[in-house]
């Protein structure tokens, strides 16, 4: 279920995004990928492709609520707990956009996001956990999806 302290709003760069409307504490679940499971690459629409979360070598899951609209950042305030929960990594203030790092879950051979977060530490091309520097993996720790921490 979606956390009542967030709201979908239009962003400047990425279409819609999810924003805090009240203060959120570290460890709070923001939203979950609780929707249909997709396997393989057959019959995928661009919408499915861009908004589902990877949880196994060839499996993705969508959400019924706002999880699918949460944008990527190279300096995120959230991470992924277990396989499907977007959880605050720190205190989030009202007005802040909710973000996670898509390389906390994705290990795709053929999907890429050109990041426009504009931060000095921006990694520019996002889409594969293999490219996530070890120092950042260490910083994220257990906020990286369980399926990638097992491999």
**Span interacting with Zn ion, options 35-43, 67-75, 76-84, 87-95, rule CB under 5 A:** 67-75
**Phi, psi angle pair for 116, to nearest 5°:** -120, 30
Half-sphere exposure of 96 (CA within 13 A, CB side): 18
Task: Measure the CA dihedral 123/125/128/133, to 10°.
Answer: -20
- Contact between 72 and 113 under an 8 Å Cβ cutoff? The reply is yes
Residues between 27 and 56 with contacts to Zn ion, criterion CB under 5 A: none
117 makes contact with Zn ion (CB under 5 A): yes
Distance of closest approach, residue 74 Cβ to Zn ion, in angstroms:
3
83 makes contact with Zn ion (CB under 5 A): no
122 makes contact with Zn ion (CB under 5 A): yes
**Phi, psi angle pair for 104, to nearest 5°:** -75, -15
**Phi, psi angle pair for 29, to nearest 5°:** -80, 130
Q: Which is nearer to Zn ion, 74 or 83 (CB)?
A: 74
Q: Which is nearer to Zn ion, 24 or 74 (CB)?
A: 74
Binds Zn ion by CB under 5 A, chosen from 30, 74, 87, 148: 74
Q: Which is nearer to Zn ion, 122 or 146 (CB)?
A: 122
Distance of closest approach, residue 81 Cβ to Zn ion, in angstroms:
22
Residue 140 has a CB neighbour count (10 Å cut-off) of: 19
Q: Contact positions toward Zn ion, by CB under 5 A?
A: 74, 115, 117, 122
């Amino acid at each position: 279920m979606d956390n009542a302290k967030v709201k979908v709003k239009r962003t400047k760069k990425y279409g819609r995004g999810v924003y805090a409307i009240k203060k959120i504490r570290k460890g709070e679940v923001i939203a979950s990928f609780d929707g249909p499971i997709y396997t393989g690459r057959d019959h995928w629409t661009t919408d499915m492709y861009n908004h589902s979360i990877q949880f196994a070598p060839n499996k993705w899951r969508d959400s019924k609520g706002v999880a699918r609209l949460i944008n990527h950042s190279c300096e995120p305030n959230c991470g992924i707990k277990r396989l499907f929960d977007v959880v605050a990594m720190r205190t989030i203030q009202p007005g802040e956009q909710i973000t996670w790092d898509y390389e906390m879950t994705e290990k795709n051979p053929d999907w890429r996001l050109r990041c426009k977060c504009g931060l000095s530490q921006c990694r520019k091309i996002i889409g594969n956990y293999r490219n996530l520097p070890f120092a950042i993996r260490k910083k994220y720790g257990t906020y990286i999806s369980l399926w990638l921490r097992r491999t």
